[in-house]
Structures are given as C-alpha cells and as structure tokens.
Structure 1
C-alpha cells in the first residue's frame, strides 16, 4: 500500500496521510447479488454518496461481500441494497458504507479511516441518513416513540460529526421513505442537538465555535466502545491521533485534549474534564 498526499485534511500543522479509500459499487454485478468494493488513491476518488446509520445485528462486512449467496440472509442486507439503489438511481456509481468499506482486521487501515472519517462525509456529494427506528408517516416535528426527533441516531457519538460534516443530507425512515433534508428539518435538528443553525447548515465554520460549545454538543451522546467518546470528536476539532483501543475513555479523552491544545489556546477546553466521558 503506497501513501499519497492528503487532500484537504490539513489541521493546523498536522496532516493525516490518506492511503486509500474503498467505495462500494452501487449496482450488483451478478445474481445472486454480488457487490464489488473498489479502492482508490486520494487523487482518483470519484464522486460518491455516503451512508450514515446506527449499527444493528447482521450488518454486512467487507468479508461478507466475498460470499454473495449468504448476503440476503443477513438482516443488514436490505440496508445495503436500499442505499445502493437510491444512490444508483441518483446517478452515483459509488457509495461509502462504513460496515463494508473498511477492513477492520487491519489496525493500520482502521486508524487511517477513523482519522479520515470527517473528511469522508465532508467530501461526499450527498449523505443518506437511515433511521431504522423512525416509523413511516409521522410528522418529523412531532414528539413520541418512532418520531424523527426521538431517533437513536441523535444519541450516538459518531453520528454527530456525520451530521456536521455532510454538506447535503437526506433523511429516510425505516421503510426508506424520505423524511426531509438537513435544511428542511433544520429547526427540529437544532432543537434536538443544540447545534446553532449557522453551524449546522455550514454558514459558519465549525472551528469558530468555542471548544466548550463543541464539547457540549457531544456531552450526552454515547458510543459502544469507551474510547470512541474521544475518537469520534477528532474531526469536529480538526485533530488527528492514533486510536488505541484498550486505553479507556479517560485516557483517550486526555489525549484528545492534548492534541487540541497543541493547535488551539481556547481556555474553554478546561470546562470539560476527562471524567465527563463516563456519563
């Protein structure tokens, strides 16, 4: 694997070298459905759609794509198939889906992708947000079980940067009916996330928000792996660091603060302590 120059991944004086990007072809190549993943060096990445979602049981992995007869039996197959179809019908040859576009057996690749995740969403043409717990036909501005504003997607750590980084977002309910866009639903999203509309819609640079304010957006969000409470914030603060799973949430958060302080003298960082990550 040969490293290539990073594209727009500068963070102050830090650069993260993007080695390659895997993209899933949106059209299956045979029957039973065989989906192909192609790899691109940074300078050759084509226009692509991207998926944001919360993980469930039976997600399709990169390894699963090598066994097409078994794909349809996994609960994550419809998510893959539907997102690919929407992207293909919109003219995209490729889509990026985290479950099957990362070789998680490679620690080097996983580290690269986690550090590049914000850029992946930022550089996408469109992001499809699949809300598996949102019922069809409900008013997105209503409250209660199964509504847009009550979706689990708004409680997860990684989805915050996906929301902020993606320039264009289309939201879908559990039956893949379109609910609306980041722009059309901005009033609800602002209420749910406390992210100012100007930042949410890209009118104001996220880096202009104080560190304490950005931390507050993530304060109540949760992650499956403890260390991800820090790693999922790297893009939001424009820093890069190697993930060290096993170090624990507190140590990961301290390292995140150290990286932020290398490039930012905003004193509001001290409002937030590593202990807050245990909430």
Structure 2
C-alpha cells in the first residue's frame, strides 16, 4: 500500500504492517491528480482541480496527528494493471483498517443539517461508496468548504 506523507505529500510504499493512516472517500470530478502527477511533481500539479482534495485531506489528517494518508486518485498507479487489480480487491480492507475516514462531499452546502442533506449528495447515491461508509469505524463528513459537518455515529437514529 502506497501512502502519502501528510506534511510533504511524498509517497512511501508499505508492505505488511502499516502505520496509522487517514483515508479519503470522495467522488471523482474533473482534473483529478494521478499517481504520476504526484510522483513526477508535474508543474501543473497544484492547478489541477483535484489537488485541493489531496491538500485538504492531508491537512486535516496532520491536524489529527496522522503522518500518513491515502487518496485513491494518486496513491494507486492506474497505469499498472496488476496494482490496479490488487487495489480494487483490497479497497474494503484498506478502508476498514484506516484510523479515520474523511468523506468529502463536494456538493454539500455549508448550511443545513447533514442528516437532511446527505441523501441529496452525489457521494451518497454512488454504490461504490457504500463500502467507504460501512468499513471504517471512524467516519467524518466534510462539506464543500471542508468544514466538519458530522460523523457516521451522528447519523444513527
């Protein structure tokens, strides 16, 4: 598993035992940052729309004392078919083993109650994200401005 250092945004590959890490759950949008973009530190990296998700999730992880984070768009080398296949097969376990999962809801307004607005979010309507809600023990929801809006435990009746 390849993780990002939350302070330097540099990769490190971990085999076997991994340090505590935060993981990002989100929906893909235009201009996501790829593994090659980060590895090669391409000049346009920071201007890509998806860079802010990486930057903000790493900032929040560092604030919560995590040295490592995982973001699917850049931590998986999608040009390597074997790695891509293994990553897809390992995804549930990676979310389950994360110390915290940050859910970024890019279409959640900064006002209103999370419980009432969550069903209208694109993230909530995607089948793929169900494992990202169920697998981790600690799930924190952030709105489009990266404000903490609630937790998985707070959604329980």
TM-score range normalised by the length of the shorter chain: over 0.9
- Secondary structure at the residue paired with 1:128? strand
Shift of 1:154: 1.1
Among candidates 75, 80, 88, match of residue 114 of structure 1: 88
Normalised to the residue count of structure 1, the TM-score between the two structures is 0.54
Among candidates 92, 108, 115, match of residue 134 of structure 1: 108
Once superposed, which parts of structure 1, at least 4 consecutive aligned residues long, lie more than 3 Å away?
none
Q: Paired residue for 2:122? A: 152
Higher Cα Rg, which structure: 1
Aligned-pair Cα RMSD in Å? 1.1
Q: Is the 8 A contact 2:118 2:124 kept in 1?
A: no
Q: Paired residue for 1:56? A: 29
Normalised to the residue count of structure 2, the TM-score between the two structures is 0.95
Q: How does 1:176-187 map to 2 (within 5 A)?
A: 176-187=146-157
The total of aligned residue pairs comes to: 156
Distance 1:68 1:90, change over 3 A: farther
Q: Does 1:74 align with 2:48?
A: yes
Query: In 1, distance between residues paired with 2:138 and 2:115?
Result: 20
Q: Does 1:41 align with 2:15?
A: yes
Gaps of 5+ in 1: 1-20, 29-34, 188-279
Query: In 2, distance between residues paired with 1:149 and 1:110?
Result: 30
Shift of 1:117: 0.5
Structure with more strand by fraction = 2
Query: In 1, distance between residues paired with 2:105 and 2:55?
Result: 15
Query: In 1, distance between residues paired with 2:110 and 2:74?
Result: 27
- Secondary structure at the residue paired with 1:51? strand
Shift of 1:68: 4.6
Q: How does 1:83-232 map to 2 (within 5 A)?
A: 83-142=57-116, 147-187=117-157
Q: Is the 8 A contact 2:119 2:125 kept in 1?
A: no
Which structure has more relative contact order (CA 8 Å, sep 6+)? It is 2
